[in-house]
Amino acid sequence: MIVTSYSRNVLSGTSRAWRVWSLSDGYLEMPASLLRDSQDSPVQQAGRAGTLRLSVNCFALAGPGVDGVLIDSGGGGWHPTVGRLEQTMADAGIDPASITVLALTHTHQDHLHGLLTADGRVLFPNLQTIVISEAAVESFFAETHLARFRPLLKSIRDGDRVAERLRAVALPGHAPGHTGYAFDTNEDRFLFMGDVIHVPALQFENPEFSWGYDDDQPAARATRQRVLHEAAGAGTWIAGAHLGWPGIGRVVRRGGAYGYEPAAG
Ligand SMILES: [Zn+2]
């Protein structure tokens, strides 16, 4: 059976045994020229002179063996338009003190710096583990203002178990060690895919379009094609850091490419 209830920001199964919250951290205005075609030229449709607004989303899980797991922590004080996670969690009724495991998709600022609030407080006082790809550990260590969190790091590889029914999935191309997390509830499958899609309005229809901050555009392009192909085939819910609100939806085949159907309220 599929997800049957969706209200504002929480999906749950018919069994009520698990829940997934989509938690907005804010947004980022980025130059439209960052969207690149397969020749690495700016995409005309995105508008050369304009900007694109990217949602910034984190996700929390609840259920047997996954209580207290958070996927990405948002941008904290890195930029004035992000760092809303604390307020969004309060709105959702989630106490930051209940978060014990943070699973990072990668270490870019908009995913990592939310470990600290804009005024410098530790947002998750009971955090025990920060799950991170072994290939991303070095970039975490480069963030010296987060040095206090280094003892919590637990490095993982593709396929490793992170929590009950939650596994790491290597999604190479965007950043060193870029990793998704596959969550199988027995009713539904989710893939928390981090930064596979930045501009949902154009990249489902044109999965060859890449993002200027993808470290390795050919690898990122191949990952995007694979994720969309597999999600469309399996009916997997994809949850993306930069998908428009609510940040979770399904992929459908459309012509030779794909479409996106957001989870509906
Ligand atoms: Zn990002």
The answer to whether the CB of 210 falls within 8 A of the CB of 197 is no
pLDDT tens across the length of the chain (265 residues): 345 444 446 777 666 678 899 999 999 999 999 999 988 899 988 876 689 999 999 999 998 899 999 999 999 999 999 999 999 999 889 999 999 999 999 999 999 999 999 999 999 999 999 999 999 999 999 999 999 999 999 999 999 999 999 999 999 999 999 999 999 988 889 999 999 999 999 999 999 999 999 999 999 999 999 999 999 999 999 999 999 888 999 999 999 899 999 987 5
CA angle 94, 244, 156 (to 5 degrees): 60
CA of 194 to the centre of ligand 1 (A): 7
Where residue 22 falls (left for φ over 0; alpha for ψ -120 to 50; beta otherwise) is beta
Report in angstroms the alpha-carbon separations of 220 from 44, 171, 204, 211, 224.
20, 8, 14, 9, 6
CA of 54 to the centre of ligand 1 (A): 9
CA of 242 to the centre of ligand 1 (A): 7
pLDDT number for residue 49: 63
pLDDT number for residue 45: 81
CA of 44 to the centre of ligand 1 (A): 22
The answer to whether the CB of 105 falls within 8 A of the CB of 178 is yes
For 168, residues 6+ apart whose C-beta sits below 8 A from its C-beta are 103, 131, 133, 156, 157, 158, 159, 160, 162, 179, 180, 181, 182
- Taking residue 3's Cβ as centre, other Cβ atoms within 10 Å add up to 18
CA of 63 to the centre of ligand 1 (A): 26
CA of 28 to the centre of ligand 1 (A): 9
User: What is the pTM (predicted TM-score) of this model?
Assistant: 0.94
pLDDT number for residue 216: 95
pLDDT number for residue 128: 98
CA of 16 to the centre of ligand 1 (A): 31
CA of 15 to the centre of ligand 1 (A): 32
pLDDT number for residue 246: 85
pLDDT number for residue 11: 76
- Which CATH number is associated with domain 17-35+49-262? 3.60.15.10
